Amino acid sequence: MTVLEERRTLDEALSTTDSFNALKGPDRGFARAMTSATLRHLGRIDEGLAPFLDRPLDTATPPSRALLRIGAAQAWLLETPDHAVVGETVAAAKTWPRAQRATGFLNSVLRKVVASRYAFDAAPISHNWPVWLRTTAIQGLGVKAAESLMRAQPETPDTYLTAKDGNAHALAEMVGGEVVADYSVKVSGASIETLPGFEDGVWWVQDIAATLPARLLNVAETDRVFDICAAPGGKTMQLAARRAHVTATDRSKPRLKRLRQNLWRTGFHGEVETVLADAIEWQPPQPADKILIDAPCSALGTLRRNPEGAWIKSDADVARFPGIQARLLRSAIDKIKPGGVIVYCACSPFPHEGGEIVEKVLNETALSRVPINPSEVNGFESSITAAGDLLTLPNGVFMHDAFYIARLKRDS
């Protein structure tokens, strides 16, 4: 309920919910699975509930809406026994003061939910996105690419690990995972904190597509590198592992704290300089050889991991990012040496946050594009655009987030 009513991320909502934090082991995992499944399929769940209601769902109280959706997700997606769907949800309502008066209503509707899923099954997958997001995707990417993203939305995301020493095969053997594209390790079915090597910091969680920006920067040990908007630090740690001289900046104090914690766990805390600053205004004492910009964005390329994004954001929210992104990219030009390389990326597949930003800045500044070659992006060869950038839409080979990545060079 907190996510949708207060427009907060799922991670934020769970971290501040005492009842969730009191859970341990499988109970904690199931609670998160329920909330994630509900958010990932929210549009279709609401359509599935509609025939059982005598008034629109949005006229019900927020606690009632939340419990109906959670109950439906258990019945239609998680294969929870019918008696548990009804009994446990009604029992939860009885212990929640704001929902106690709705127990009869919940009992009646949920009995219908466990008896029929016809309307849920009939609702198109695309309806898991609100209308504005479907329109944005189709207008920006075309029908085929938009549909591929919509089909990927309901899928539970894979978990990938990056090895500190770069040896994915040794890491896969250590954690019982699978090597993907020679540089990432996919794991499943285990709590991350319990995997071998977590406490020793020999790996970190990082989507396979998210590894590509740092890889494409091609840093050397002698390079001075700025990682801009660096938190939570996956790309920072990749750069540090190459023994580059890395300065990581972020304007958010809590996010920078998280980055520093990750640097401590992985043993990079003494090797990376961290700076709390607005990267547009920040003036380093000397220019960099290379810069990585992980631009603030709508994060709509990570909806499988953060499905609430489709429902807590609006087209107006998303529209504010392009101006920030363009200013951030322009500001990097004064922070890099002539001939230096900039990698710009955003975890959004939409042109107004990626290709259109880069083209605009290329036309206005002394930057030129350095095209990405297939040999540099094993597993993502088909993701290279006609312009030589990278757009990691679902490729049917393995699951990953949607990123836009461009590599640029300062000419003078």
Average confidence (pLDDT) over 85-90? 94
Q: Is the pLDDT of residue 234 over 90?
A: yes
Residue 234 falls inside a structural domain: yes
Q: How many domains, the chain?
A: 3
Q: Which of 57-71, 189-203, 317-331, 345-359 has the lowest mean pLDDT?
A: 189-203
Q: Is the pLDDT of residue 33 over 90?
A: no
One domain for residues 301 and 386:
yes
Strand partners, 246: 225, 272
Mean pLDDT of the chain: 93
One domain for residues 217 and 330:
yes
One domain for residues 219 and 169:
no
One domain for residues 200 and 223:
no
| Residues spanned by the domain of 399 | 208-410
DSSP helix, strand, coil percent of the chain (3-state; round to 5) = 50, 15, 35
Helices (H), 206-252: 212-217, 234-241
Q: Would you place residue 1 in the very low, low, confident or very high pLDDT band (cuts 50, 70, 90)?
A: low
Q: For residue 117, report the phi and psi dihedrals to the nearest 5 degrees.
A: -125, 20
Helices (H), 99-220: 103-115, 118-122, 131-141, 143-152, 168-175, 212-217
Tell me, rounded to whole angstroms, the distance of Cα 41 from its chain centroid. 17
Q: Which of 17-21, 311-315, 369-373, 381-385 has the lowest mean pLDDT?
A: 17-21
Average confidence (pLDDT) over 145-170? 93
* Confidence (pTM): 0.93
One domain for residues 35 and 174:
no
H helix and E strand count, the chain:
19, 12
One domain for residues 112 and 49:
yes
158 token code pair: 């894979």
**CA dist., res. 378 & res. 83, Å (int):** 48
One domain for residues 201 and 58:
no
Question: b vs e for 349-379, b when ≥16 Cβ sit within 10 Å of the residue's Cβ?
Answer: bbbbbbbebbeebbeeeebeebebeeebbeb
Assess contact for 391 and 372: CB atoms under 8 A. Answer: no
Q: Give the pairing type, strands 224-228 and 288-294.
A: parallel
